[in-house]
Each structure stands twice: as C-alpha cells, then as structure tokens.
C-alpha cells in the first residue's frame, strides 16, 4: 500500500469519527412513527372486523359504510393520522367501496345501483366551503394590514381602565372577531394585544391569569355566533342542506348570538370574581394603534361583506356567493397575494368536506337509519345525551371531528322523530355544533386554549375551573332553552 493511499484511509477514518455519525443519524426523523403506525393498523383491523361482522346480517353497502365510520371515529379520536388526512381517506374509501367506479366484484351496493363518484366528491364543491374560504380571506387580509390589532386596541380604550371593564372589553372584542375570523388567529392576536397590560401587574396578581384566560374562553364562545365562526358550524349547515333544511347567515345568528351573549356575560362574571386583583387601584390602559389607508380599504370590504351576509333574505344572493366578493376584490388588488393564498387553512376545508362526505355516505348506504334505530328515540334524555357526548368527545379530541361523527346521527334521529318539521331538525344539528364549540375544559380541548396555556401563566386547573363551568352551563342552556328557541324561530319565520 502506498503512502498516499494509507494517508487517505487514515484521513477518511478521522473524518468519520469526527462527524459523530451515530449522533447525526439521531436527528434524522423517522419516516413512520411506530406508535402512530400501530394505532393506524389497529384501527384498520377493528374497522375491517366490524364490516365482516355486519356482512352477516346487513347489505354490503351498510357493512362497508359501518367499517368506514368506525375507522374514521378511531382515527379522529387517536389522531393516528392528521385530521384532514382521515377526512380524505373517508372520501377515498367511499368512492372505492360504495361508488365502485372500476366495477370490481364484491364492491358497491348489493342492488347493483351505485352512487356515482361525482356524488361522493360533491362535498368538495359544497357552498359552505366557499363560505369558509371567504371568511379565511377576510381574516388573512385583516391580519396582514394590522386591522385586527388596531380596531381591537381602539375599541378596548372605550371600556376605560378598570380591570372588570377591561376584561369585559377583551371578551366582547375577542368574541366578535371570532365570529368572522379563525378563533385561533383571534386568540393569538388578542394575547399579543394584552401582553403590554400585564407589565403593570405584579407576578402574583390573579388578574394576570384572568386577562389571559378570558381570551380563549371568549374566542371559543364567539365562534358559535356565525356559520363561519367555527368548522363544526359549517359541518352542521352542510348536513342540514343535504336534508333539505337550508340555514342562512342571519338565521344562524338569530339562534346562536343570544346563547353567545349569555355565556359571555356569565363567564365574564365568573372570571372577574375568581381572578380579581387585590389592588383596588389597579388600572389597565391599552395603547392606541393607527389604521393605514390599506387598512381602511380592508375595513370597508369587510363591512360590505358582513352587511350582504346579514341581508341575503332581501337581495337574494346566497351567503356562499357573497363570500366570493372579498375573495375577488382582495386577490385582484393584491391585498392577498400568492403566498397569502397558499397559506390559507386548506386542511380545515378538507376536514369539513370529509365530514360532509361521511354523513352523505351514511345516508346513501342507509347506515344512519340502522344506527338511529338502535337509539331509544322515545327517551326524553336522548337529545341531552347527544349534547353531553359531543362536549365530552370535543374536550379530548378535535371538535370538528366530534361534530362529523355526532351531527349526522342527531339529524337522522330528528328526521325519524319529527319527519319534515324543519325547525326541529335544524335545532338538533345546530345544537350539536354549538355544543362542540363549548368544550374547553382542558388546555388540549381547543387551539385557543393551547395558545393561552403556552404563555405559562395559566394552569390546567384554571381551564378545568372556568372551561368546565362554561361547558356544563352550555349543556344546560342548550338542553333546557331549546324548545323556547324553536318556538321563537317558528313565529319569526
């Protein structure tokens, strides 16, 4: 061996040792996480077993859809796959198992008359997705031009400097913004806005926790107020439309906003009492921010859009068509550029579409009728149990996923119990959607809770104390006041 080759080998060995090869490999992410892979495989096996067992007594389309429902439920609960990935998987399985476009033997409906794959893909073109897209565009434009922070700081100054009034102002502003923006984005914005107020308070002051805790609480409650306030709202509207029960923007607000205001006032009273500052002279003054000309343009388009949404019964334009107005204006004027458009919450739209497709598959296959037949519809507690189940599931998993699972059952139950009574059918769907947004008893329950918890100023027991109280209160109000709301709606409509 020549000296040159010997030197090269020694040098190569030295470089490998210096690179710490094993340590470097430790930082390379594995393509599959074993825990998630096992959860996915376990869910797939259980869903397959359900289908096989149901094939013994049910038509194959019901058995296939039963397996899809169980698989979706397990994957959404365990999050073995991303939520939107499970939604897309549901659509794909329904196309193969129910529509059977390839004409494969053993798939499709037992009668041989299958729904087309266009029927299964129709949720991707559902008007509620266009409505949500318009809401995303409005929110993105407001955040980009600083309109959200400027308006919030200006309105907050109207409430003065007393802690109780500042808490009320923060909660009202947060709730109103959450009606038309993502409650996650609203929480992040309001947490940033409230940070300067915390500087004037000592570390041990309970008011510091109150200022942080009131924001996710109000964001979750405010999301109930409009069809675009929270994804479960869109899921409910999509299912109701499939049942021939359309809900417009103003009708939703007439039903939901009173509940929002009542929950806001009671939760404000609780937070202001539990987290009261020991210093009676404490004052909180926010800094005013200037709105630029581009910001005023965004405000004008925002206002016109909301006005059109609230008056659709007079001008005749559906809410989804109105939602295209800010999309066209902001993209044409470059308020929303390509980067902004690409960064929209497309995964939320996929999750909503998957939920609507799940309900559609249950209806087409007849699985919804089979499941509802197993529920003792004559019991006066069935509806309350659906509300409780929605809240409990939403505390530990995505509220959109919980709504996807329970809303079709609730609507099917209402249809079988009340026939063509539209207010009753709508009440079941809307109530479950509203209940899913009221689940906020843990830091993991909602993204707003997680954002507030990440600040390190509030603990899990604080969310249990306030969020659990709000969740319980929402269950009681929705269950007890529902008949009065339905009676009022019947008189107005």
Average pLDDT, integer, range 299-320: 89
Chain centroid to CA 66:
24
Q: Give domain status of residue 312, yes or no.
A: no
Whether residue 104 sits in one domain with residue 156: no
Per-residue model confidence (pLDDT) at position 251: 84
Q: Quick one: 153 and 241 in the same domain?
A: yes
Q: Domain for residue 445, yes or no?
A: yes
Which pLDDT value is given to residue 23? Answer: 46
Kindly state the average pLDDT of the residues 394-408. 84
**Domain co-membership, 163 together with 118:** no
Q: Are both 49 and 116 inside the same structural domain?
A: yes
Q: Are residues 102 and 213 part of one domain? A: no
Picking from 106, 122, 138, the residue at the C-terminal end of a domain is 122
Residue 117 has pLDDT above 50, yes or no: yes
Over range 259-263, report the average pLDDT: 91
Domain containing 95: what range?
Answer: 32-122
Q: Which of 106-110, 279-283, 392-396 has the highest mean pLDDT?
A: 106-110
Number of domains in the chain: 2
Mean pLDDT of 40-48: 92
In contact, 238 and 428? CB cutoff 8 Å: no
Task: Please indicate, yes or no, whether residues 371 and 455 belong to a single structural domain of this protein.
Answer: yes
91 and 163 in a single domain? The answer is no
pLDDT band at 491 (very low <50, low <70, confident <90, very high): low
- Place 464 in a pLDDT band, splitting at 50, 70 and 90: confident
Mean pLDDT of the region 22-31: 46
Pair 484, 466: CB distance under 8 Å? no
b/e sequence 119-156, b meaning 16+ C-beta within 10 Å: bbebbeebbbbbbbbbbbbbbbbbbbbbbbbbbbbeeb
HEC profile of 427-439? HHHHHHHHHHHCC
pLDDT at 482: 67
186 Cβ neighbours under 8 A, 6+ residues apart: 148, 174, 177, 178, 219, 222, 448
Mean pLDDT, residues 112-131 taken together = 89
Residue 403 lies in a domain: yes
* Domain contains 267: yes
Tell whether 373 and 414 lie within a shared domain. yes
Statement: residue 161 has pLDDT above 80: no
Question: Are residues 181 and 40 part of one domain?
Answer: no
The answer, yes or no, to whether residue 359 has pLDDT greater than 50, is yes
- Domain limit, last residue, from 72, 107, 122: 122
Residues 207 and 95 in one domain: no
Q: Note whether residue 213 is domain-resident.
A: yes
Please indicate whether residue 280 or residue 166 has the higher confidence score (pLDDT).
166
The answer to whether residues 188 and 106 belong to one domain is no
395 with 281, same domain?
A: yes
Structure confidence at residue 348 (pLDDT): 87
Considering 62, 88, 122, which residue would you say is the last residue of a domain?
Answer: 122
User: Predicted confidence band at 22 (pLDDT cuts at 50, 70, 90)?
Assistant: very low
Query: What's the pLDDT score for residue 217?
Result: 92
Question: Whole-angstrom distance between the N-terminal and C-terminal Cα of the chain?
Answer: 96
Domain membership flag for residue 304: no
The per-residue pLDDT of the chain, averaged, comes to 83
Task: Report how far residue 75's alpha carbon sits from residue 27's, in angstroms, rounded to the nearest whole number.
Answer: 28
**Is residue 2 scored above 60 in pLDDT?**
no
Of 43-57, 62-76, 259-273, 364-378, the poorest mean pLDDT is in: 364-378
This prediction's pTM: 0.82
Averaged pLDDT, 150-160: 79
Confidence category of residue 460, pLDDT binned at 50, 70, 90: confident
Assess if residue 243 is contained within a domain.
yes
Q: Which of 120-134, 198-212, 465-479 is predicted with the least confidence, judged by mean pLDDT? A: 198-212
Pick the range with the lowest mean pLDDT from 81-90, 126-135, 259-268, 436-445: 436-445
Q: Is 310 a domain residue?
A: no
């Amino acid at each position: 061996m020549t000296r040159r080759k010997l030197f090269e080998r020694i040098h190569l060995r030295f470089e490998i040792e210096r690179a710490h090869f094993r340590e470097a490999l430790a930082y390379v992410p594995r393509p599959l996480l074993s825990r998630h892979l096992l959860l996915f495989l376990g869910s797939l096996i259980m869903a397959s077993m359900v289908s096989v067992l149901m094939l013994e007594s049910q038509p194959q389309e019901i058995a296939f859809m039963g397996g899809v429902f169980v698989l979706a439920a397990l994957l959404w609960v365990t999050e073995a796959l991303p939520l939107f990935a499970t939604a897309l998987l549901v659509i794909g399985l329904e196309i193969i198992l129910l529509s059977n476009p390839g004409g494969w033997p053993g798939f499709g409906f037992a009668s041989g008359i299958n729904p087309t794959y266009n029927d299964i893909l129709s949720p991707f073109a559902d008007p509620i997705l266009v409505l949500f897209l318009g809401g995303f565009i409005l929110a993105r434009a407001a955040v980009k031009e600083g309109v959200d922070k400027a308006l919030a700081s200006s309105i907050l100054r109207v409430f003065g400097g007393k802690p109780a009034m500042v808490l009320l102002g923060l909660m009202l502003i947060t709730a109103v913004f959450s009606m038309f923006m993502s409650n996650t984005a609203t929480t992040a914005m309001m947490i940033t806005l409230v940070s300067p107020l915390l500087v004037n308070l000592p570390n041990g002051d309970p008011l510091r926790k109150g200022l942080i805790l009131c924001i996710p609480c109000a964001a979750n409650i405010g999301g109930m107020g409009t069809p675009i306030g929270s994804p479960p709202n869109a899921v409910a509207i999509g299912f109701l439309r499939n049942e021939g029960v359309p809900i417009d923007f103003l009708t939703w607000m007439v039903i939901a906003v009173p509940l929002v205001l009542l929950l806001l006032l009671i939760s404000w009273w609780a937070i202001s009492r539990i987290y009261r500052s020991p210093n009676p002279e404490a004052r909180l003054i926010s800094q005013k921010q200037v709105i630029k000309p581009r910001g005023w343009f965004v405000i004008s388009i925002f206002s016109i859009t909301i006005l059109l949404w609230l008056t659709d019964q007079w001008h005749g334009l559906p809410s989804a068509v109105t939602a295209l107005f800010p999309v066209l204006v902001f993209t044409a004027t470059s308020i929303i550029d390509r980067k902004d458009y690409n960064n929209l919450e497309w995964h939320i739209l996929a999750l909503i579409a998957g939920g609507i497709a799940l309900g559609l598959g249950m209806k087409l296959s007849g699985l919804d009728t089979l499941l509802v037949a197993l529920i003792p519809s004559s019991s006066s507690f069935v509806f309350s149990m659906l509300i409780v189940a929605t809240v409990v599931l939403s505390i530990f998993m995505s509220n959109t996923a919980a709504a996807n699972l329970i809303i079709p059952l609730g609507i099917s139950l209402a249809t079988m119990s009340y026939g063509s009574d539209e207010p009753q059918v709508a009440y079941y769907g809307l109530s479950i959607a509203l209940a899913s947004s009221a689940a906020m008893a843990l830091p993991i329950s909602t993204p707003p809770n997680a954002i507030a918890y990440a600040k390190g100023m509030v603990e899990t027991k604080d969310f249990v104390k306030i969020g659990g109280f709000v969740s319980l209160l929402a269950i009681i109000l929705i269950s007890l006041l529902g008949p009065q709301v339905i009676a009022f709606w019947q008189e107005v409509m």
